[in-house]
Amino acid sequence: MRKTALLNSDISAVISRMGHTDMLAIGDCGLPIPDETNRIDIALIKNIPGFLQTLEAVLLELQVEEILLASETKEVSPELYKKILEVIGNVKVTWISHEELKDNLKKCKAVVRTGEQTPYANIILKSGVVF
Specify binding-site residues for substrate. Answer: 28, 98, 120-122
Q: What residues have CB less than 8 Å from 35, skipping those under 6 apart?
A: none
Active site (annotated) includes residue 20: yes
Catalytic residue, candidates 20, 82, 92, 107: 20
Cα 128 to Cα 13, 19, 123, distances in angstroms: 17, 8, 15
CB contact at 8 A, 27 and 69: no
Question: Which residues make up each annotated binding site?
Answer: 28, 98, 120-122
Catalytic site residues?
20
